[in-house]
Amino acid sequence: MSKIAVLRKSGFRPPNRREVLGLALGALVPVRAQQVETHQATGVRTGEVSSTSAVIWGRRTRDSLRRADGLVRKGQRGTTLPVEFDISSLQGSCPGEEGQLRVIVRQSDGKKVHDSGWGSAGAASDFTRQFTITKLRPDTAHTYTMETRAGAGMKVDGVLTGQFRTAPAASVLAPVTLAMMSCQKYSQTDSPGGFLIYDAIRKMQPHAYLSVGDNVYYDSDDPVVNSVEMARYHWHRMFSQAKLVECLRAVPGYWVKDDHDCYSDDCWPGMVNETMNPFTFEQGLKIFPEQVPMGPRPYRSFRWGRALEIWLLEGRDYRTANPTQDGPSKSIWGPRQKRWLQQSLTASDAHWKLIISPTPVVGPDRANKKDNHSNRTFATEGTQFRKWLAGSSRGDTFVLCGDRHWQYHSIDPETKVEEFGCGAASDSHASGSPGETPRYHRFHRMLGGFLAIQVLPEGQSSRLLIEHRNVAGEKVYERSYPREA
């Protein structure tokens, strides 16, 4: 079958004038303003910020802008393309190019505190490179430049700049602001430059943002992923959009994966989705840490001064297969992660403890979902953990949930464990709620948005403020918690 016939059968076509303009607006900078060849169409990202360290991510691309005139889909779902298909012909593609990258970090006073030196980036790593920056001063603003070049001795390309602030030392009581979002589907963007929510988060100027699962949708955004190259394309077209690039240059993040940016809906190790063959769950596990700045362990915790500690949980790598009969040995987290979670929560002396989970621990959820602690499929582990948390917490620990497409605040009727769900990244992607359940819900809203979390010092104590905001950043609900003596 000819290439034209394949495209016609799959429903792809050249973009119309309006679509080309939309993709141009979604590029790193408007086409007419692009003067310097940065060769960084997918932007830069900072992650894993602690009081003394951070990880900075970069990628060298063939072009400085995403492709605006490539082939687009008519709108149907579930299309796969031949594995050997030329992905660079698709709209939003950002092919990588062999070369070198270097990052230089300075404090806000201009003092250089890190020069990574040049490091190579090739096809094996999707032309990405991550730089771990250490020995930084706590609670200090930093700026950086990411440079690229074709090779040793070659001319340096145009640079991209970024910024971040290190966390306060664990002994220091300081204000902290975080934003948390989830479920950004490419087909559900609400602006030519990506998602309005990124403008709202950037204007909020949080210390960091939490991306809690479903950064991309391998199995339900066209073209459906069936190769490593196609999976990478999903990341490239998502994170080369202007609103994402500009936000992530200014706001560092912590990334957690869930089912759709790992493999397939409700997936577990060993699961096979025949539509996605020959792409595998195991390949998805390797791609995620390649595309976001993070350390070697998928579950981890970070301290933000005296008042706050956050726990980022991994819900796919270690889980028992969903269809397995429930019982004491069935687990989402696995024994090692669960032991670490309980031990580190107990040991923490932070005023406030936030458990960041990509799936619900409290819920309630839809009856047909079978992948989280709030339903019958993992009821034993869910019940056991909620009871343990209720007995261990002094009203200072909360669960923040990512992957549900509605915003909510719920309290477990039995244990009083509280959970806040951030909702989807756009209004059009909000759906699937089981409906408001008064027995659980203190707040329920089936529209897009994010969570804004603030810790506010009050003398030697502090207050925790959790707000639901809409995609424009406007507050729609809030709860405030004073610290008990």
pLDDT in tens, 103-153: 999 999 999 999 999 999 999 999 999 999 999 999 999 999 999 999 999
For position 25, what pLDDT does the model report? 46
SS3 77: coil
Looking at the fold, whether 47 and 86 belong to one and the same domain comes out as no
Q: Could you say which residues of the chain have pLDDT below 50?
A: 24-34
CA–CA gap between residue 386 and residue 361 (Å, rounded): 8
For position 334, what pLDDT does the model report? 98
User: What sign has the CA pseudo-torsion 279, 280, 285, 286?
Assistant: negative
Looking at the fold, whether 366 and 381 belong to one and the same domain comes out as yes
Mean pLDDT for the chain overall? 93
For position 484, what pLDDT does the model report? 73
State the pTM of this model.
Answer: 0.93
Looking at the fold, whether 84 and 146 belong to one and the same domain comes out as no
Looking at the fold, whether 91 and 101 belong to one and the same domain comes out as no
Q: Is the preceding omega at residue 434 within 30 degrees of 0, hence cis?
A: no
Domain boundary among 166, 186, 217: 166
Looking at the fold, whether 226 and 132 belong to one and the same domain comes out as no
Specify if 171 maps to a domain.
no
Counting the structural domains of the chain, the total is 3
For position 355, what pLDDT does the model report? 98
Contacts 24+ apart (CB under 8 A), 262-265: 262/218, 262/288, 262/316, 263/218, 263/219, 263/316, 264/218, 264/219, 265/219, 265/220
Looking at the fold, whether 207 and 319 belong to one and the same domain comes out as yes
Looking at the fold, whether 84 and 207 belong to one and the same domain comes out as no
Looking at the fold, whether 185 and 136 belong to one and the same domain comes out as no
> What domain range is 54 assigned to?
36-61+96-166
